[in-house]
Structure 1
Amino acid sequence: MTARLIGIDWGTSSFRAWRMDAAGRVLDSLDTGPGILAAGQEPGGFPGALERAVGPWLGRGVPVIASGMITSRNGWVETPYLPLPLDAAALAGALVRHRAGLGDLHFVCGAVDGADGPAPDVMRGEETEIIGHLAAAGHDQAQGLFVLPGTHSKWAQVRGGRLAGFRSVMTGEVFALLRDRSILGRLAVPGPFDAPAFMRGLDAGRAQGPLLARIFAARSLALLERLAPAQVADYLSGLLIGDEVARMAPPPQVPVTIIGRGDLAERYRIALSQAGAAARIAPPGMARQGLWTIARKAGIV
Structure 2
Amino acid sequence: MTALIGIDWGTTSFRAWRMGAGGEVLDRVGDGPGILAAAGLPGGFRQAMQDRIGSWLGTAPVIASGMITSRNGWIETAYLPLPLDAAALAANLTLHEGIHFVTGAVSDPDGPAPDVMRGEETEIIGHLSGGGGDGLFVLPGTHSKWARAEGGALTGFRTVMTGEVFGALRDHTILGRLIQPGPGSEDAFRRGVEAGRQDGALLGRIFSARTLALMDRLAPDQVADYLSGLLIGDEVAQGTRDAGGSVTIIGRGDLALRYQTAFAVLGIAARIAPPGMAQRGLWEIARMGKLA
TM-score bucket (shorter structure): over 0.9
233, 244, 267: which one aligns with 2:235: 244
TM-score (norm 2): 0.98
- Whether the 8 Å CA contact 2:190–2:265 is kept in 1: the answer is no
Trace 1:1-301 onto structure 2 (pairs within 5 A): 2-60=1-59, 62-99=60-97, 104-137=98-131, 139=132, 142-249=133-240, 253-301=244-292
- Structure 2: segments with no counterpart, 5+ residues: none
Identical positions, percent: 67
Using the TM superposition, give the Cα deviation of residue 193 of structure 1 relative to its aligned residue in structure 2, in angstroms.
2.0
Deviates more, 1:249-258 or 1:223-232: 249-258
**Aligned partner of 2:125: which letter?**
I
- Whether the 8 Å CA contact 2:85–2:153 is kept in 1: the answer is yes
**Aligned partner of 2:252: which letter?**
R
Using the TM superposition, give the Cα deviation of residue 253 of structure 1 relative to its aligned residue in structure 2, in angstroms.
4.9
Question: Match of 2:71, SS?
Answer: coil
- Looking at structure 1, the residues matched to 204 and 241 of structure 2 have their Cα atoms a distance apart, in angstroms, of 25
Using the TM superposition, give the Cα deviation of residue 276 of structure 1 relative to its aligned residue in structure 2, in angstroms.
2.5
- Looking at structure 2, the residues matched to 189 and 280 of structure 1 have their Cα atoms a distance apart, in angstroms, of 32
- Whether the 8 Å CA contact 1:153–1:168 is kept in 2: the answer is yes
Using the TM superposition, give the Cα deviation of residue 262 of structure 1 relative to its aligned residue in structure 2, in angstroms.
1.0
- Whether the 8 Å CA contact 2:17–2:26 is kept in 1: the answer is yes
Tell me which stretches of 4 or more aligned residues in structure 1 moved more than 3 Å.
250-253
- Looking at structure 1, the residues matched to 44 and 267 of structure 2 have their Cα atoms a distance apart, in angstroms, of 47
Using the TM superposition, give the Cα deviation of residue 252 of structure 1 relative to its aligned residue in structure 2, in angstroms.
7.3
RMSD: 1.1
**Aligned partner of 2:110: which letter?**
D
Question: Match of 2:245, SS?
Answer: coil
- Whether the 8 Å CA contact 1:249–1:272 is kept in 2: the answer is no
- Looking at structure 1, the residues matched to 184 and 77 of structure 2 have their Cα atoms a distance apart, in angstroms, of 39
- Whether the 8 Å CA contact 1:4–1:20 is kept in 2: the answer is yes
